[in-house]
C-alpha cells in the first residue's frame, strides 16, 4: 500500500506526460487538463507553501468548485502532512444559508487556514460575509512560489489524509477520518471488483467533496493511473444529455451516479439527442448513494440500448464514507437483478447491490438483541472493523465512536461498524431495505418510507420521481402517516385531489395501509443532501412548522362532521355521501360498485367509516364486520334495505337476527382457522 504522496510521485516519474484529469464546462467543452507530472509539480508547490506558513493547525478547509484546482489543493494539502477538509463551496445565492455549516465544520476540525478560489472570496466580501474570513488564514490562490527546498514530512499510511463530513441526511454533520491506508485499500478493492481494467477513462459529474465522486472518481483515477473527466455538478440537472454525450465522446469505460441521475436521463433526453451516441464502450455503469429503483434501471437500459449500451454493464452497489466508500457491488460480467425491498414483498421494486468486497465481513444483525440474523431476514447492516477500508472513526467523537465503530455481536470478540442501514442477504447478495432511523412503526408493523414514496410516485404522471418523503407523526393518541410529495411544474392543480385518492388506493392494495395526510409541494422544495438523499427529518420539521410551499393538502379526517340531515332518500345515496365526506372528495369520484378497499380504506379507516354510519343511522344496526364482508357500497346498501327510503323501518328483528347469526359464524370460522 502507498500513500497519496507516494502514488503521485510514482506516476509522475513513470507516466508523467499522460493526462490524469480533464475539466469540462457545463456544455461539455474541455477547458483544461493536467498531466501526472504537472499534478505532482503543482501539488508540491501547495505543500511547500503550507509548510512555510506559521499556522500549526492540523486541518485546511478546501472551498473550490469541481475541477483541477480542487485536486491540486487536495493533494498538496495532504502532501504537507495536513488534513484536507473538502466541503461544498457555496455560490453567492446560497452563501447566507451555507455559512453556519461551514463555521461549524471549521470549528469542529480546528481549521484556521482556508484554501479557496478567488470567486468564493469575492462572493464573501460582496455579500458582507468577509468578517468570517478575517477569523481564518485565507491563503492566496493560485499559490505563490516559495522555497522549493522545504522538505515534506515522511508519508505515513495510518495518518489521517482527509475528513469526509457527512451530508447530513440523518443528523448533524460528522467528520469521518480517512487514512492513507483506507484510500489505498478501498481503491484497490474497487479495481479488483471491476476486473482491474487498467488505464481507462472515467466520467463524473457528482460533487467532488462527496465520498462517491472523491473516491470512486478522483482518487481511483490517481491510484490506478487512469484518466478522469470532470463535469460541473449542475450539468445533470441542467442538461443530462451532456453527461451521456461526454461518456460517448471520451469513450468512457466507467461512469455513473445515484438513481435520480438515470431517471433524469429517461425523462429529459430527447430521441434526437440519442442519435449519434456511442455507449458501447461503457462497461461499468455504477449506481449507488440512494435507494435504487428497478423500474428506473429497466427504463434507462431500454431507452439507451439503441446507443449500444449493454444491459450487463449496469452495476449497482452499496457504500458509505465510514468504509471509505465501496462495500458491495455486482461483479464484472454479472447481470443485475431486481429484488423486493423485503423478502416477503410481492413486488421487486429495488435491486440487489451485489456481494461484499473481498475480505470485508458483512453481517445482518438484530439491532436490539445484537445477534446475527439468517439470510432472508431484514436487519441492520454491520461491517467488521478488521478491514483496512473501514475508517478509524469520527473526528474527536469518542463516545459516538464507541457506539458506532465498536459494536459487538453476541458471543463474539470482534468489533463492528454499525451502518444504520437496513437490509437482507439472499445467496450472499445484499439488498438495501432502508434506514434504521427512518423506519416507521405503525400498528405494530415496520414500514419503510421508500415503500410509500415509490408506490405513490408510480401511479401518477406528474409526481416527481425521488421527490417524496414519508414519515410518521406521533401524538398522544396515535401515530399518523404523512407523505410530502413534489408535483411537477407542469402538473395541473386540479389533478392533485385525484392523485391523493389514487395514492391511497395503491397503498391500500400493496401495503394494506392508507395515509392520514398527503401534502403536495412545489418542484425542488423537498430538502435533500448534496448527493440527492432525501432529508426526511428536516422535511418533518418543515411540515411541523408549516413552512413547506404547499400546492394541495389532503387530510383523512376520520372524526369530521357529517351532515345533520341526509339530503338523499336511499341508503345507497346516504352511504355514498358519507364515504365522500370521509375521503374528502366529490360524489362523482365515489363509484358505488367498487370495493371499499379500492378507495384506500384500511382496517382503521373502515372502523371510522362504521362509526360515521352508526352516528348518522343507528337504526341500520350495522356491525363493523359488515363493512369488511361487503365488497362495495351497493352490497352494503342491499344489506340495510336496498331501495327503501330512509324513513322506512329497515331494522326489523329478522334482519337483526340474521346479522347476529352471521357474525357468530365469522367468529367461529376465525377460531377454526
Each residue's pLDDT tens digit, 84-136: 999 988 876 567 777 888 888 888 898 888 999 988 878 877 776 666 666 67
Q: What is the mean pLDDT of residues 492-505?
A: 87
Architecture field, domain 362-436:
Roll (2.30)
- Average pLDDT on 354-362 reads 96
Predicted confidence (pLDDT) at residue 32 exceeds the cutoff of 50: yes
Q: 231-256 pLDDT, tens per residue?
A: 998 888 889 999 999 999 999 999 99
64/232 Cα distance (integer angstroms) = 12
Please say whether the beta carbons of 106 and 77 come within 8 A.
no
pLDDT at 568 over 90: no
Supply the pTM of this predicted model. Answer: 0.75
Q: DSSP string spanning 640-653?
A: HTTT--TTS----H
When mean pLDDT is compared across 26-40, 261-275, 542-556, the lowest value belongs to 542-556
How far apart CA 106 and CA 94 sit, in angstroms, is 18
Over the stretch 140-199, which tens digit does the pLDDT of each residue have? 898 888 888 889 999 999 999 999 997 544 446 789 999 999 999 999 999 999 999 999
Burial of 568 (0-12, 13-18, 19+ CB in 10 A): middle
- The answer on pLDDT for 667 being more than 80 is no
- CATH number given to 571-639: 1.10.1200.10
Burial class from Cβ neighbours inside 10 Å (0-12, 13-18, 19+) for residue 132 reads middle
Tell me, what's the pLDDT at 566? 41
Q: What is the mean pLDDT of the chain?
A: 85
Distance of alpha carbon 565 from its chain centroid, rounded?
50
Q: Any idea where the domains of the chain sit in the sequence?
A: 362-436, 439-555, 571-639
Q: Is 339 helix (H, G, I), strand (E, B) or coil?
A: strand
407-457 tens-digit pLDDT: 999 888 899 999 999 999 999 999 999 888 887 777 667 788 888 998 888
Domain at 439-555: CATH architecture? 2-Layer Sandwich (3.30)
Amino acid at each position: 500500500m502507498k500513500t497519496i504522496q507516494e502514488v503521485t510521485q510514482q506516476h509522475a516519474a513513470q507516466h508523467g506526460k499522460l493526462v490524469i484529469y480533464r475539466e469540462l464546462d457545463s456544455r461539455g467543452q474541455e477547458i483544461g487538463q493536467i498531466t501526472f507530472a504537472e499534478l505532482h509539480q503543482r501539488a508540491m508547490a501547495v505543500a511547500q507553501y503550507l509548510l512555510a506558513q506559521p499556522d500549526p493547525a492540523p486541518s485546511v478547509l478546501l472551498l473550490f468548485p469541481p475541477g483541477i484546482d480542487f485536486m491540486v489543493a487536495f493533494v498538496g494539502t495532504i502532501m504537507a502532512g495536513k488534513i484536507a477538509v473538502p466541503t461544498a463551496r457555496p455560490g453567492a445565492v446560497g452563501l447566507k444559508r451555507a455559512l453556519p455549516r461551514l463555521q461549524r465544520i471549521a470549528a469542529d476540525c480546528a481549521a484556521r487556514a482556508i484554501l479557496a478560489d478567488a470567486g468564493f472570496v469575492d462572493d464573501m466580501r460582496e455579500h458582507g460575509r468577509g468578517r468570517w474570513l478575517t477569523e481564518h488564514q485565507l491563503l492566496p490562490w493560485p499559490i505563490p512560489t516559495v522555497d522549493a527546498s522545504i522538505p515534506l514530512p515522511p508519508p505515513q499510511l495510518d495518518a489521517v489524509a482527509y475528513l469526509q463530513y457527512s451530508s447530513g441526511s440523518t443528523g448533524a454533520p460528522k467528520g469521518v477520518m480517512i487514512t492513507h491506508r483506507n484510500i489505498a485499500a478501498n481503491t484497490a478493492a474497487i479495481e479488483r471488483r471491476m476486473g482491474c481494467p487498467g488505464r481507462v477513462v472515467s466520467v463524473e459529474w457528482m460533487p467532488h467533496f462527496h465520498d462517491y465522486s472523491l473516491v470512486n472518481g478522483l482518487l481511483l483515477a490517481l491510484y490506478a493511473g487512469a484518466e478522469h473527466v470532470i463535469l460541473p455538478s449542475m450539468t445533470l440537472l441542467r442538461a443530462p444529455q451532456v453527461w451521456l454525450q461526454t461518456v460517448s465522446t471520451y469513450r468512457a469505460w466507467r461512469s455513473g451516479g445515484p438513481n435520480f441521475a438515470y431517471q433524469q436521463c429517461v425523462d429529459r433526453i430527447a430521441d434526437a439527442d440519442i442519435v449519434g451516441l456511442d455507449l458501447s464502450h461503457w462497461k461499468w455503469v455504477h449506481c449507488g448513494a440512494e435507494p435504487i429503483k428497478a423500474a428506473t434501471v429497466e427504463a434507462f437500459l431500454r431507452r439507451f440500448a439503441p446507443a449500444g449500451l449493454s444491459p450487463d454493464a449496469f452495476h449497482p452497489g452499496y457504500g458509505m464514507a465510514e468504509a471509505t466508500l465501496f462495500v458491495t457491488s455486482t461483479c464484472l460480467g454479472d447481470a443485475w437483478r431486481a429484488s423486493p425491498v423485503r423478502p416477503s414483498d410481492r413486488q421487486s421494486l429495488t435491486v440487489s447491490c451485489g456481494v461484499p468486497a473481498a475480505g470485508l465481513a458483512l453481517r445482518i444483525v438484530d439491532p436490539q438483541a445484537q445477534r446475527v440474523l439468517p439470510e432472508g431476514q431484514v436487519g441492520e447492516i454491520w461491517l467488521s472493523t478488521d478491514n483496512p477500508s473501514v475508517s478509524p472513526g469520527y473526528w474527536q467523537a469518542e463516545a459516538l465512536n464507541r457506539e458506532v465503530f465498536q459494536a459487538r455481536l453476541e458471543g463474539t470478540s470482534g468489533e463492528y461498524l454499525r451502518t444504520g442501514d437496513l437490509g437482507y442477504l439472499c445467496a450472499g447478495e445484499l439488498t438495501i431495505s432502508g434506514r434504521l432511523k427512518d423506519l416507521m412503526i405503525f400498528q405494530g408493523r415496520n414500514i419503510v418510507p421508500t415503500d410509500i414514496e415509490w408506490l405513490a410516485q408510480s401511479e401518477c404522471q406528474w409526481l416527481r420521481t425521488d421527490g417524496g418523503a414519508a414519515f410518521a407523526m406521533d401524538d398522544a393518541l396515535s401515530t399518523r402517516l404523512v407523505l410530502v410529495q413534489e408535483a411537477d411544474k407542469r402538473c395541473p392543480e386540479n389533478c392533485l385531489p385525484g392523485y391523493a385518492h389514487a395514492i391511497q388506493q395503491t397503498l391500500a392494495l400493496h401495503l394494506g395501509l392508507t395515509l392520514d395526510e398527503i401534502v403536495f409541494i412545489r418542484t425542488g422544495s423537498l430538502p435533500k443532501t448534496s448527493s440527492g438523499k432525501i432529508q426526511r427529518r428536516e422535511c418533518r420539521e418543515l411540515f411541523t412548522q408549516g413552512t413547506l410551499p404547499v400546492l394541495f393538502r389532503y387530510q383523512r379526517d376520520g372524526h369530521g362532521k357529517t351532515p345533520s340531515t341526509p339530503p338523499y332518500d336511499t341508503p345507497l345515496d346516504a352511504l355514498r355521501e358519507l364515504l365522500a365526506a370521509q375521503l374528502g372528495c366529490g360524489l362523482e369520484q365515489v363509484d358505488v360498485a367498487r370495493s371499499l378497499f379500492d378507495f384506500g380504506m384500511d382496517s382503521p379507516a373502515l372502523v371510522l367509516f362504521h362509526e360515521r354510519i352508526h352516528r348518522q343511522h343507528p337504526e341500520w344496526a350495522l356491525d363493523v364486520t359488515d363493512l369488511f364482508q361487503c365488497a362495495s357500497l351497493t352490497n352494503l346498501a342491499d344489506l340495510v334495505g336496498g331501495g327503501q327510503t330512509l324513513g322506512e323501518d329497515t331494522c326489523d328483528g329478522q334482519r337483526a337476527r340474521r346479522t347476529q347469526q352471521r357474525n357468530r359464524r365469522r367468529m367461529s370460522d376465525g377460531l377454526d382457522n
